[in-house]
């Protein structure tokens, strides 16, 4: 089978573990649910999001504990992920002690970790401290960067800087120009995984759940046969497939947020302690060459 064919059909399969994160298998096509015990047999990577280290209110007084549980679940995955993505809001208030704690917990995965900032990570200093600590290897000057691994082209975007009154997430002209340049000349058959904090599709503009200039970014990605967009920010799982673009938001490891419009505001949902871990999550993804479906599964770790 040619690379081209794999690429066109190839996509991502994902098993979601509530309470921890998402493990992804790149394999191909349209979303299809997999059993949570099914081992991934390709290139696998994990996603965690919205750890909000520093948050200590109802419903979660122990965000380091739930984040550590998520990392432990990634560690215990049947197929060891090749890398770990964190889709932002690593910290709650961008404080050095929060970054310290988060960095130590994430290191427990023993994996290459790639992070993009959430709006909670760029308070006061425009994200300089976050980038210095979590993106030093990628040298993402404005908090965005790309790299290749396992045949997949990964693009980390920053849509939380320079937000405008009344607006939503924002990429900006410089980042869009960089993205166009980054994708130029790349084979359309190569699977692309884009990860950013705020959803790159309009989930619920009334709550600012979208990115105002994402259409331009998605326009640059449409020629590729398999594009998976991974986001956080909304602390719940949402998915959408649009042509060759598959969108997925991950759960938070800290606290759940209500479904769009289901509450007066997007503040933390107050859930009883026994239910909390069932509403937190991790994602795991892997690529299986020659298989042709993209599947995403939600499997609560807690009951």
Partner 1 sequence: MILLNRRDAATLLLAQLLAPRAEAAAAEVVIDNFTFTPATLNVAAGTTVTFRNRDDIPHSVVSALRPPAFRSKVMDTDDSFAFVFDRPGRWDYFCGLHPHMQGTIVVT
Query: For binding to partner 1 (CB under 8 A), which residues are involved?
Result: 57-58, 92-94, 119-120, 123-124, 163-168, 205-208, 264-268
Residue number, 164 or 184, with CB nearest to partner 1 = 164
Q: Are 250 and 38 in contact (CB under 8 A)?
A: no
Q: Are 14 and 299 in contact (CB under 8 A)?
A: no
Q: Residue written as tokens 């009951």?
A: 303
Residue number, 37 or 206, with CB nearest to partner 1 = 206
Least Å distance between CB 47 and partner 1?
22
* Residue 272: other Cβ atoms inside 10 A: 7
Least Å distance between CB 204 and partner 1?
10
Residue number, 29 or 208, with CB nearest to partner 1 = 208
Least Å distance between CB 30 and partner 1?
33
Least Å distance between CB 274 and partner 1?
21
Query: Which helix (H) or strand (E) is 21 found in, with range?
Result: strand 21-26
Least Å distance between CB 300 and partner 1?
24
Residue number, 5 or 162, with CB nearest to partner 1 = 162
Residue number, 177 or 263, with CB nearest to partner 1 = 263
Nearest to 227 by CA among 42, 8, 6, 15: 8
How far apart are alpha carbons 140 and 267 in whole angstroms? Answer: 31
Residue number, 92 or 153, with CB nearest to partner 1 = 92
Q: Are 179 and 157 in contact (CB under 8 A)?
A: yes
Question: What's the alpha-carbon Rg for the chain, to the nearest Å?
Answer: 17
Least Å distance between CB 59 and partner 1?
10
DSSP string over 132-167: HHHSTTTT-TTS-EEEEETTEEEEE---BSS--TT-
Order of all β-strands in the sheet with 145-149: 145-149, 152-156, 192-195, 227-231, 245-249, 238-242
């Amino acid at each position: 089978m040619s690379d081209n064919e794999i690429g066109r059909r190839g996509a991502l399969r994902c098993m979601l573990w509530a309470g921890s994160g998402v493990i992804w298998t790149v394999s191909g096509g349209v979303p299809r649910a997999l059993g949570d015990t099914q081992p991934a047999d390709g290139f696998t990577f994990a996603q965690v999001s919205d750890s909000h280290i520093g948050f200590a209110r109802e419903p979660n007084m122990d965000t380091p504990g739930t984040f550590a549980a998520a990392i432990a679940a990634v560690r215990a995955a049947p197929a060891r992920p090749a890398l770990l993505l964190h889709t932002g809001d690593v910290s709650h208030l961008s404080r050095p002690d929060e970054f310290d704690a988060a960095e130590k917990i994430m290191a427990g995965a023993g994996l290459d970790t790639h992070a993009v900032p959430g709006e909670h990570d760029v308070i006061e200093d425009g994200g300089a401290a976050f980038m210095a600590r979590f993106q030093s290897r990628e040298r993402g000057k404005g908090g965005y960067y790309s790299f290749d691994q396992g045949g997949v082209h990964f693009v980390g975007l920053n849509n939380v800087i320079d937000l405008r009154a009344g607006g939503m997430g924002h990429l900006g002209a410089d980042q869009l120009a960089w993205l166009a340049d980054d994708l130029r000349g790349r084979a359309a058959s190569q699977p692309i995984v884009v990860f950013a904090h705020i959803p790159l599709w309009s989930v619920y503009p009334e709550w600012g759940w979208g990115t105002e200039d994402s259409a331009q970014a998605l326009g640059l990605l449409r020629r590729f046969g398999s594009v998976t967009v991974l986001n956080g920010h909304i602390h719940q799982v949402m998915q959408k497939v649009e042509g060759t673009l598959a969108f997925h938001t991950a759960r938070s490891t800290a606290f759940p947020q209500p479904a769009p419009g289901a509450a007066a505001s997007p503040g933390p949902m107050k859930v009883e302690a026994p239910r909390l871990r069932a509403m937190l999550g991790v994602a795991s993804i892997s690529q299986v060459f020659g298989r042709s479906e993209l599947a995403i599964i939600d499997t609560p770790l807690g009951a």
